[in-house]
Chains A and B, each alone.
Chain A
Amino acid sequence: MQQEAIDKLAALAKLEMSEEERKTLPGQIVSIVEYIDKLRELELPADAPEMAYAVDVVNTWREDEAVNVSEDDRRLLIDAFPERVGDLNAVPAVFSGRAVPRSPTRPSKASSRGHGSVVSDRDEAL
Chain B
Amino acid sequence: MNFATATINELKRAMETGETTSVEIVKACLGRCEELNGALNAFVEIYQDEAMAQARIWDKARADGKELPVLAGIPIGVKDCILVKGHTASAGSKILSNYKAAYDATVALRLKKAGAIIFGRTNMDEFAMGSSTETSAYGPTKNPWNTNKVPGGSSGGSAAAVAAGLVPVALGSDTGGSVRQPASLTGIVGLKPTYGRVSRYGLIALASSLDQIGVFARDAKDIALILEVIGGRDPRDATSVETDVTIPELISEDIKGLKIGIPKEYFMEGMDAEVRARVEEARDVLAKGGAEIIEISLPHTEYALAAYYVIMPSEASSNLARFDGMRYGKPEESSTLEERYVKTRSAQFGREAKRRILLGTYALSSGYYDAYYKKALQVRAKIREDFDKAFSGKAGPGSAGQDVDVILTPTSPSVAWDIGEKFDDPITMYLADIYTVSVNLAGLPGISLPCGFVDNLPVGMQLIGKPFDEYTLLRAGAYYQSKTDWHQQSPGLDI
* With contact pairs A15-B358, A48-B381, A76-B102 given, residues A119 and B327 touching in the complex (Cβ less than 8 Å): yes
Q: Separation in Å of the B25 CB from the closest CB of chain A?
A: 30
Residues of B close to A97: CB separation below 8 A: 335-336
B309 touches A50 (CB 8 A): no
CB within 8 Å of A: which residues of B? 85-86, 99-103, 194-196, 209, 235, 238-239, 241, 300, 302-303, 305-307, 309-310, 317, 324-331, 334-343, 345-346, 349, 351, 354-355, 357-359, 361-363, 365, 371-372, 374-382, 384, 424, 426-427, 430, 441-444, 467
Q: Are A14 and B341 in contact (CB under 8 A)?
A: yes
Complex interface bits, A69-108 against B, C-beta within 8 A gives 1, otherwise 0 = 0000100110111110000010111100101000000000
A77–B424 alpha-carbon span in the complex (Å): 37
Q: Please provide the chain A residues from 1 to 55 with a CB less than 8 Å away from any CB of chain B in the complex.
A: 6, 9-10, 12-18, 21, 24-25, 28-29, 31-33, 35-42, 44, 48-55
**Besides the known contacts A55-B195, A73-B103, A92-B335, 20 further A-B residue pairs in the complex with CB atoms under 8 A apart:** A9-B361, A9-B362, A17-B346, A35-B305, A36-B376, A39-B306, A39-B307, A39-B379, A42-B382, A51-B378, A51-B380, A53-B209, A54-B195, A54-B444, A80-B327, A80-B328, A82-B325, A82-B329, A91-B326, A99-B335
Set of chain B residues within 8 Å of A38, measured between Cβ atoms? 302-303, 306
List 23 contacting pairs A-B, 8 Å CB cutoff, sorted by A.
A12-B361, A14-B338, A14-B345, A29-B358, A31-B427, A33-B359, A33-B362, A35-B309, A35-B427, A39-B306, A39-B372, A42-B375, A42-B382, A48-B378, A50-B374, A50-B381, A55-B195, A55-B241, A57-B239, A79-B100, A80-B327, A82-B325, A89-B327
Q: Which B residues are CB-close (under 8 A) to A99?
A: 335-336
Residues of A within 8 A of B330 (CB): 82
| B interface SS class | helix
Contact A31 B426 (CB under 8 A): yes
Measured in the bound complex, the distance between the Cα atoms of B342 and A25 in whole Å is: 17
A10–B327 CB distance below 8 A: no
- Bound CA–CA A99/B67 (angstroms): 58
Instruction: Name A35's closest neighbour in chain B (CB-CB).
Output: B427
Chain B residue at smallest Cβ distance from A38:
B306
CA distance A41 to B300 in the complex (A): 11
Is B380 touching A50 in the complex (CB atoms < 8 A)?
A: yes
Inside 8 A of B442's CB, which chain A residues have their CB?
54
Interface contact A76-B327, CB-CB below 8 Å:
no
Complex Cα–Cα for A37 and B241 (A)? 35
Within 8 Å of chain B (Cβ to Cβ): is A58?
yes
Question: How far apart are A110's CB and chain B's nearest CB, in angstroms?
Answer: 15
Q: Known contacts A31-B427, A44-B382; is A36 also within 8 Å of B306 by CB?
A: yes
* Given A54-B443, A80-B327: A15 and B359 interface contact (C-beta under 8 Å): no
A-B pair number, CB within 8 angstroms = 177
A28-B355, A53-B209 are contacts. A35–B306 as well, Cβ < 8 Å? yes
Chain B contacts of A51 at CB under 8 A? 377-378, 380-381, 384, 441
User: Closest approach, in angstroms, between the C-beta of B227 and any C-beta of chain A?
Assistant: 17
Q: Is the CB of A32 within 8 A of B359?
A: yes
Of A38, A59, A92, the most chain B CB neighbours within 10 A belong to A92
> From residue B197, how far is it (CB to closest CB) to chain A in Å?
10
Given contacts A39-B306, A59-B238, contact A54 B325 (CB under 8 A): no
B299 shortest CB reach to chain A, Å: 10
Residues of chain A with a CB closer than 8 A to B362's CB: 9, 29, 33
Do A54 and B365 touch across chains, with their CB atoms under 8 A apart?
no
Tell me whether A60 is interfacial, beta carbon within 8 Å.
Answer: yes
By beta carbon, the residue of chain B nearest A51 is B381
**How far does the alpha carbon of A97 sit from the alpha carbon of B339 in the complex, in Å?**
10
A92 and B361 in contact, given A35-B427, A50-B377 (Cβ under 8 angstroms): no
Among A14, A25, A50, A93, contact of B324 (Cβ-Cβ < 8 Å): A14
Residues A81 and B310 in contact in the complex (CB < 8 Å), given A13-B358, A39-B375, A73-B103: no
Residues of B within 8 A of A76 (CB): 85-86, 100-103
